[in-house]
Amino acid sequence: MPSKHHFASYKIMEVLKNIPQINNKTAALIFENGEVLWGYGLGVKKFVIGELCFNTSQTGYQEALTDPSYTKQIITFTFPHIGIVGTNSQDKESKKIYADGCIINQPINFYSSWRSEIDLNSFFIENDIPCLYGVDTRYLTKKLSEEGAKKVALINFGKEKNSFEALQKEIKNWSGLENLDLAKIVSTKNEYEWDKGTWSNKNYEKINKYRVVCLDFGIKHNILRNLYDFNLSPTVLNLSASYNEIIETKPDGIFLSNGPGDPQATGEKILKTLKKLIDTEIPIFGICLGHQILSMALNAKTKKMFQGHRGSNHPVKNLENNVVEITSQNHGFEVDRETFSNDIVETHISLFDGTNEGLKHKHLPVFSVQYHPEASPGPHDSHYLFSNFYNLIKKYAKKN
């Protein structure tokens, strides 16, 4: 008997065959069950398959689009005025847009900022990304909140209608984000040094630089800027770097970055190396995917979330001092606290849904958080974590 995917794909194809008779709209979002939302297209004329998610941030759309953690995801922005300040070369969190597609409520005809260089549509075209507008983003957000993550196709048709067979095959066969190792795609191929700080008018002397090896699962530029600001000298390595390759750089600290995909698919390849690094007592700090992979190295488990956390207004409680931090987040997997060993202390929890947001080891210099303290975009409530990392490195450097 044909699968449900077969019927969904057949329904999609029937809809697509009748495009000229439906309306004069030029783009569409198609769900796996055949539901279609029609709108208009921006960016390049192409189709993409990915997981649909929503982001509630009111600023920082350029930073979100260029975050490698959004690989194979299509972002629905809930804020209506996306594009209002244009785009520029400084606000990119990586070398390009990593989100596969974008959905906004309405286009911005006039953008305004003294830092702007090009408009958002030109930025999409420059990065080969399709965008859909003119749909009810409130409906999409509610749908995802109630029904969980969705596999979808986003199509900006233009005049070309000869790729539908490929679309049918891809939406039928794509497995979704579970068991998908995307970090290996976005990780740096070559080792490099980072020597830029955050933007500031303050002049201060860089002293007592400690070397930090950053394992790149999809690292953001603002993470590296913050590490540099705290008198740390980042060296970025591919995620598959061996134990010997890491130790040969003589690191004072090790950083595990954010990134896309399923932590179990990525983590199983590097857990042996990470366990050996933990035993060296070199301080280790993880963020987002790095948090999940570190937890696995400490014998905890991860799981897919129902809808994930994406936005820059997420309240997190610090269990060590009872302070609430407003945080920036982007993740669809979580660490399962029920699998924590006696050596793990939970340090932070989400006040949205109670999920784990941070941990540390009872006896070793190892800690991590699920959210993004570099906050690009987002509030700066959690910048202290970089200071904590620096102080931990300084403490253990004196011991050695």
Q: Go through 213-232 and write b for each residue having 16 or more CB atoms within 10 A of its CB, e for each that does not.
A: bbbbbbbbbbbbbbbbbbbb
HEC string of the chain equals: CCCHHHHHHHHHHHHHHCHHHHCCCCEEEEECCCCEEEEEEEECCCEEEEEEEEECCCCCHHHHHCCHHHECEEEEECCCCCCCCCECCCCCCCCCCCECEEEECCCCCCCCCCCCCECHHHHHHHCCCEEEECCCHHHHHHHHHHHCCEEEEEEECCCCCCCHHHHHHHHHHCCCCCCCCCHHHHCCCCCEECCCCCCCCCCCCCCCCEEEEEEECCCCHHHHHHHHHCCEEEEEEECCCCHHHHHCCCCCEEEECCCCCCHHHHHCCCHHHHHHHHHCCCCEEEECHHHHHHHHHCCCEEEEEEEEEEEEEEEEEECCCCEEEEEEEEEEEEEEHHHCCCCEEEEEEECCCCCEEEEEECCCCEEEECCECCCCCCCCCCCHHHHHHHHHHHHHHHHC
Angle at 177 between CA 171 and CA 182, to 5 degrees: 110
Point out the catalytic residue in the list 63, 93, 357, 374. 374
- Average pLDDT of the residues in 287-301: 97
As its CATH architecture, domain 4-173 has: 3-Layer(bba) Sandwich (3.50)
Q: In whole angstroms, give the CA distance from residue 46 to residue 128.
A: 9
More confident residue, 377 or 388: 388
Is 5 known to be catalytic?
A: no
Does 162 score more than 70 pLDDT?
A: no
Q: In whole angstroms, give the CA distance from residue 3 to residue 388.
A: 52
Cα of 129 vs its chain's centroid, Å: 17
Q: How confident is the model at residue 32, as a pLDDT? A: 81
Same fold, 4-173 and 183-399: no
Q: How confident is the model at residue 204, as a pLDDT? A: 52
Does 399 score more than 70 pLDDT?
A: no
Is 243:273 a contact under the CB 8 Å cutoff? Answer: yes
Q: How confident is the model at residue 10, as a pLDDT? A: 40
Is 277:212 a contact under the CB 8 Å cutoff? Answer: no
Burial of 43 (0-12, 13-18, 19+ CB in 10 A): buried
Point out the catalytic residue in the list 53, 131, 214, 288. 288
Is 347:317 a contact under the CB 8 Å cutoff? Answer: no
| Percent of the chain residues topping a pLDDT of 70 | 87
Q: How confident is the model at residue 21, as a pLDDT? A: 36
Task: Report the 10 Å Cβ neighbour count for 192.
Answer: 14
Sign of the dihedral through C-alpha 230, 94, 103, 153:
negative
pLDDT digits (tens, 9 = 90+) for 79-108: 999 999 999 999 999 999 999 999 999 988
Structure tokens at 48: 């993409």
Q: How confident is the model at residue 243, as a pLDDT? A: 97
- Average pLDDT taken over every residue of the chain: 89
Structure tokens at 277: 């690094």
Is 6 known to be catalytic?
A: no
Sign of the dihedral through C-alpha 257, 263, 266, 271:
positive
Q: How confident is the model at residue 4, as a pLDDT? A: 36
Q: How far is CA 19 from CA 25, 38, 164, 391, in A?
A: 9, 10, 12, 61
Hey, what amino acid is at 335?
V
Confidence band of 15 (pLDDT split at 50, 70, 90): very low
Domain boundaries, the chain: 4-173, 183-399
Sign of the dihedral through C-alpha 175, 180, 183, 189:
negative
The superfamily in CATH containing domain 183-399 is: Class I glutamine amidotransferase (GATase) domain (3.40.50.880)
Is 44:156 a contact under the CB 8 Å cutoff? Answer: yes
Is 361 known to be catalytic?
A: no
Confidence band of 160 (pLDDT split at 50, 70, 90): low
pLDDT digits (tens, 9 = 90+) for 167-205: 656 676 777 778 889 999 999 999 999 998 887 645 555
pLDDT digits (tens, 9 = 90+) for 40-81: 999 999 889 999 999 999 999 999 999 999 999 999 999 999
